[in-house]
Amino acid sequence: MKKLFCAAVMLLVYSVLSAQETELFRLEAEVRVDYMQEYLENDKVDAASGFKGRYLNFRIDGKIAEGLTYSWRQRLNNVKTNSSFFDDTDWATVNYNIGRWNFNAGRQVVGIGGYEYDMAPIDCYFNSEYWNNIACYQFGVSASYAVGNKGDNLLFQFCESPFRWNAINVNNGEMFAYNLMWFGNHGCFSSIYSLNMIEWMPGKFINYIVLGNKFVFGDFKLDLDYMNRAVSLNRFIGGNMSVMADISWQASDRLTLFAKLTYDVNNTDEIGDLCVTPGTDILRVGGGIEYYPLKSTKNLRLHLNCCYADGKSPVSAVIRPKQTVVDAGVTWRMKLLDLKRKN
């Protein structure tokens, strides 16, 4: 009897410990504060210098039922008095997974390729002119399919155009984007490619071909993106493009060094690219370090970086000729609440 009783207790303990848990609700927060100095030639840009609260985000994730999940990320540092609540919502989506298929609906990331574009904004320090001008969160629906068993996924997305609100289209009503993406994962090589047709005015489209490539060799990582943009067949390839290259070395578990280059050029005279306007020919180079001071976690990160830009760009551009930016700051990620249910 004692043996039977012990066996029953052990079986009960094992069943409890091995029971699967359903994550009903997970609340996280992340904040980044920087101290910045910006110069145009030798003139300090006071409005862009000093302490800056760059990001304050809250994120909620959870599971509704088998295969049905939700995710919501909200920014609190970018609130404008005349804006909609959703203008500061990065995403608020419901996701349904069944077999190889995945369906997503709600406010989501516009499906454009490239690793610079794919990186979370809080993890970016200096970026291309294109990145600085694209409104990358919009309402839409998407469906993806896992091809084979090697990590390839195809995604189609139908969503609002990121150019619905701009200087040309002031609340121009319904404008849409049609996006096809390929996510690949093959050992040391990964990819995020896309073909995009995006309305920049009702019935008028700009087309993207984006080739995002990632190469990993031990502690070294290279992200290499090429984006081609065209509003007509005239100079469809090469006249309007961006190139981004980011190489990093993980020197230790707590220290990463990186260098980055971005190049944006639009040598066409055609209206339609509202991110990199005609006459732009600007190169930006820089580098920096990331340091994680805590041994047990990477939730706390310190950074220091510097970048310099030169070339040609309109006065309204984010990246200006002979622009120097020095940036030091701290990022803190917090897990606030995690509710789980035993199945």
| pLDDT tens digits for range 240-294 | 999 999 999 999 999 999 999 999 999 998 889 999 999 999 999 999 999 999 9
- The confidence score (pLDDT) of residue 242 equals 97
- The confidence score (pLDDT) of residue 13 equals 35
Residues of the chain with pLDDT under 50: 1-19, 81
- The confidence score (pLDDT) of residue 84 equals 66
Spatial separation of the C-alpha atoms in residues 315 and 122, rounded to whole Å: 26
Spatial separation of the C-alpha atoms in residues 88 and 57, rounded to whole Å: 10
In sequence order, the β-bridge partners of residue 31 are 56, 332
Predicted model pTM: 0.88
Give the pLDDT confidence of 91-119 residue by residue, as tens digits: 999 999 999 999 999 999 999 999 999 99
- The confidence score (pLDDT) of residue 188 equals 95
Question: Which domains can be identified in the chain, with CATH numbers?
Answer: 35-342 (2.40.160.10)
- The confidence score (pLDDT) of residue 341 equals 74
Spatial separation of the C-alpha atoms in residues 91 and 72, rounded to whole Å: 5
- The confidence score (pLDDT) of residue 17 equals 40
